[in-house]
Chain A
Amino acid sequence: MNLTLYVWRQKGPNDKGKLEKYEAKDVSPDSSFLEMLDEVNEDLIKKGIDPIAFDHDCREGICGMCSQVINGIAHGPDDEITVCQLHMRRFKDGDSVFVEPWRSKAFPIVKDLVVDRNALDRIMQAYGYVSCHTGGCPSGGSTHNGGVPDSNATVIPKPDADAAMDAAACIGCGACVAACPNASAMLFTSAKVSQLALLPQGRVEAARRVRAMVEAMDGEGFGNCTNHYECEAACPKGISVSFIARMNRELLKALPKEA
């Protein structure tokens, strides 16, 4: 099939970008969206035109690197997938397709469709962890485990472990931010806050964690949540907005402790 693409081209963070029109010819319906772009790029290279820069890596929907707004929707028209999992059979011959980068003040454009998502890393660095010791644990003996107990010493109810895993499935792609009218990173942040708050290991630092992560999130310039639910709709891993509610409860519980 043949498609007309309108792709956002922008040389660098300070340049003014614009949509450029390209033709994608003889596209196989079995190709992924990124494979289609690869072919368009091959064509551009041969014509001596700078190919379209876009982020991608694992191409199996787990690394969270690919990031394109396709026809106005983060990761494109299908539910619960990343761009690399979007297949061309989803489109029709003769379609026009608009391809743009994530849009958010906190995600400056690097080039074309590539944006800088390090703000999400900085939220993680604020407290997206349990402060347990790593490494150097003596081996062999059951009594000396570098300060951590045997993993079955703490039982965790299956519903809690499952709910923690539901939250932990976040791939940090930033689609939630791109989809939100406020460019809020609350779904991302709440997923990590909830995962660790649901587990006894993470419970101890829950109050400090939620405060630090929310503060970092606000500091990066992400907007607030006003219940549009666009984040959940765009999330390739189906992370539920109920985790935002959980984060808000955690924050309310944590605030009085500050006094």
Chain B
Amino acid sequence: MILDGKCPTGPIEKSWDKHRFDMKLVNPANKRKFKVLVVGTGLAGGAAAASLGELGYNVEAFCYQDSPRRAHSIAAQGGINAAKNYPNDGDSVWRLFYDTVKGGDFRAREADVYRLAQVSNNIIDQCVAQGVPFARDYAGYLDNRSFGGAQVSRTFYARGQTGQQLLLGAYSALCRQIRAGSVKMFARREMLDLVVVDGEAKGITCRNLVTGEIESYWGDAVILATGGYVNVFYLSTNAMGCSVTAAWKAAKKGAFFANPCFTQIHPTCIPQHGEHQSKLTLMSESLRNDGRCWVPKKKEDTGKAPGDIPEEDRDYYLERKYPSFGNLAPRDIASRAAKEQCDDGRGVGPGGRGVYLDFADSIERVGEDTIRARYGNLFQMYEKITDEDAYKRPMRIYPAPHYSMGGLWVDYNCMSNVPGLFVLGEANFSVHGANRLGASALMQGLADGYFVIPYTISDYLARITPGKITTDHPEFKKSAQDVEAQSNKLLSINGKKTPAELHRQLGRVMWENVGMARSKESLNKALQEIPKIRDEFWNNVKVTGENGDFNQQLENAGRLADFLEFAEILTKDALHREESCGGHFRVEHQTEDGEAMRDDENFAYAAAWEFKGVGKEPELHKEPLKFENVQLAVRSYK
């Protein structure tokens, strides 16, 4: 099937305005007759729930944490992009659009990216109005910094806690609507099924994580804003609860999963220290504004203290390889370059898996106080984890899985191929392309939640009758029974391995074979290993406790069960995509000097997979991507 992204035609600068005019509206008095379910309350979901509540819809919002304020958007540190051009360095909506399409290695939909760039400026205005304390200069104006993949300073920030402040802004807007009664908040709920009636999304089935009760909720539309899936690698920068579960359950009910192999590996993480580590910690990309990446030129120097290695024996490899972007090269380029140095035996720290990020020059140039003001909390965090003082000794960093650029397929309206199911933020695939640039995740989450969905959902709702299907429909009962049955099955296996052990097993297979560099051979190996672990899981997992109780092991096991199915489709997608682009690097497809080699002739499309059953071949649907405004070109950051 050829998928239609339903992009508006005509000049791209006008397409969102034109589209907004063309869409159907719901009359204000009728809005209260509709009920919308929002699953996930991070930047995208929180902003969507607040905005739709304010518009007058009845909203029910769900999150697995104890409070929407804990969504993982809170952990984003560096900043949010907007094309305000306050620093007067030549930025524009067009340039932000251009950088983002290029940064996505030409695998994102142009129209979606243009709209994102366009509304980015409104996001900043909106957040400032909410009281988000962005950094300011002494004149009282907003301050900017630069980020990877851009040559202008367009990143707005709130110290090293930008994600936190933007999320708390959305959370406060959500609180206002909860108080007003337009949004009903259901915390500590995990969505375990999507209810589809006559081909349209009409509700969800949740587990109440406190009581263990299975609960049904109906809605005239369902919005998923459930974040990303990189915990499929076990070790990642994501929060422990981040999972593919909600998206995967939707995929099992017919929603297509697009570009799952596009996972972003972030170059600036604290290296792993040992076997029992549960997660990796990200250091903000903004550190590369002032930090210089290097490794020793000689292998025998890797064991030395960095201060004992003289300047001429250091290889500032990013500055050497990419003189015009230097340390601010995009994430995939910087990650791969770091891995190359380590694979070459010149990595530093435990296991040789680390490179230095050195602030000595910056400290000499602007002083320690300035560096402390810019990144103090990050240096503090680094010290807590590694016991090293990065003001005195360079940080050690290594790439780690960070962000999902694939996600459920959606059209220009953010609606999946299942009518009534909308997908926002990281959970969809739309603007990311193959290598989403820094400071654009916060931008997309808020753009989708505040500025896109409030319009596009009305176009769907205006065409349906509100409240036609409610929880007394038999599909809800069936769904609840299925969910209950799966939980009981997990509890009855009573095998020998814990969910964490099996998750580590899956993670190793994924990182080694489907990680930063993939080959036909490694991918095929993973495709043999994954079903084995899945079989072992269903025969040998041990889940303690009961269903009707607060049971964190049952939660973990359920999430892992979904990762074990999803991992296979991710790997198949990587195997089918016979090219290298962005974060997806197939060793068979590279230039002589080791850069990614795209194949636009054969792969300029979004690969949307239709699930056909566990162990069965998924069916591939393609959405051809047209580049009419940004010329397809080899991405060069040299």
Contacts and interface: CB of A to CB of B under 8 A. Distances in A.
Interface of A: 12, 28, 30-32, 34-35, 38-39, 42, 44-46, 48-51, 53, 55-65, 78, 80-81, 85, 87, 89, 110-111, 114, 116-118, 120-121, 124-140, 145-146, 148-152, 154-158, 161-162, 164-165, 168-169, 171-172, 195-196, 199, 201-202
A171 B164 contact: yes
16 contacts: A51-B553, A55-B66, A58-B74, A58-B239, A60-B381, A62-B74, A87-B387, A118-B187, A134-B47, A135-B449, A138-B20, A145-B122, A145-B126, A152-B141, A152-B142, A201-B130
A217 B86 CA distance: 41
A117 B67 contact: yes
A161 B134 CA distance: 7
Counting chain A CB atoms within 10 Å of each CB, the highest count among B115, B133, B137, B161 belongs to B133
B464 interface: no
SS of B interface (majority) = helix
B309 interface: no
B134 A45 contact: no
Given A31-B276, A168-B133, A65 B65 contact: yes
Contact of A148 (B125, B384, B455): B125
Contacts of A53: 550, 552
A49 to B, nearest CB: 7
B381 A61 contact: yes
A133 B55 CA distance: 10
Contacts of B50: 134-135
Interface string B547-559: 0011011000000
A156 to B, nearest CB: 5
B274 A31 contact: yes
A135 B51 CA distance: 5
Given A45-B542, A120-B67, A134-B173, A57 B130 contact: no
Contact of A65 (B66, B139, B178, B455): B66
Contacts of B137: 158
Ordered nearest first, which 10 A-B pairs have the shortest CB separation? A135-B51, A155-B140, A129-B172, A151-B128, A148-B129, A164-B133, A165-B133, A132-B129, A161-B136, A57-B239
A133 B171 CA distance: 14
A38 B276 contact: yes
A165 B173 contact: no
A114 B550 contact: yes
B73 to A, nearest CB: 10
Interface of B: 16-17, 20, 47-48, 50-52, 54-55, 65-72, 74-75, 84, 86, 115, 118-119, 121-122, 124-142, 158-159, 161, 164-165, 168, 171-173, 175-176, 178-179, 185, 187, 210, 239-241, 273-274, 276-279, 281-282, 380-381, 384-385, 387, 449-451, 454-455, 496, 498, 500-501, 542, 544-545, 549-550, 552-553
A106 B205 CA distance: 30
A85 B279 CA distance: 12
A117 B65 CA distance: 11
B276 A135 contact: no
A201 B168 contact: no
A161 B140 CA distance: 8
A133 to B, nearest CB: 7
Contacts of A202: 131
A135 B125 CA distance: 11
A168 B385 CA distance: 24
A130 B118 CA distance: 25
Contacts of B550: 12, 53, 110-111, 114
A169 B161 contact: yes
A202 B168 CA distance: 14
A136 B239 contact: no
Given A57-B239, A146-B122, A152-B86, A121 B278 contact: no
Nearest to A67: B66
Contacts of B161: 62, 165, 169
A51 B498 CA distance: 11
A48 B543 CA distance: 9
B462 to A, nearest CB: 15
Contact of A60 (B75, B210, B450): B75
Nearest to B137: A158
B69 A121 contact: yes
Given A42-B500, A136-B455, A202-B131, A128 B172 contact: yes
Given A81-B384, A135-B51, A139-B122, A201 B140 contact: no
A29 to B, nearest CB: 9
Contact of A195 (B17, B51, B52, B133): B133
A44 B141 CA distance: 55
Counting chain A CB atoms within 10 Å of each CB, the highest count among B48, B178, B277, B282 belongs to B277
A59 B240 contact: yes
B466 to A, nearest CB: 20
Contacts of A61: 381, 384
A62 B74 CA distance: 7
A34 B210 CA distance: 21
B172 A130 contact: yes
Nearest to B543: A45
B66 A118 contact: yes
A64 B75 CA distance: 11
A22 B161 CA distance: 37
Given A135-B47, A161-B133, 16 more contacts: A35-B278, A58-B72, A58-B239, A60-B282, A63-B239, A64-B70, A85-B381, A121-B67, A125-B179, A135-B48, A135-B54, A139-B17, A139-B115, A152-B141, A165-B133, A171-B164
A111 B65 CA distance: 15
A196 B55 contact: no
A125 B273 CA distance: 41
A53 B546 CA distance: 13
B164 A62 contact: yes
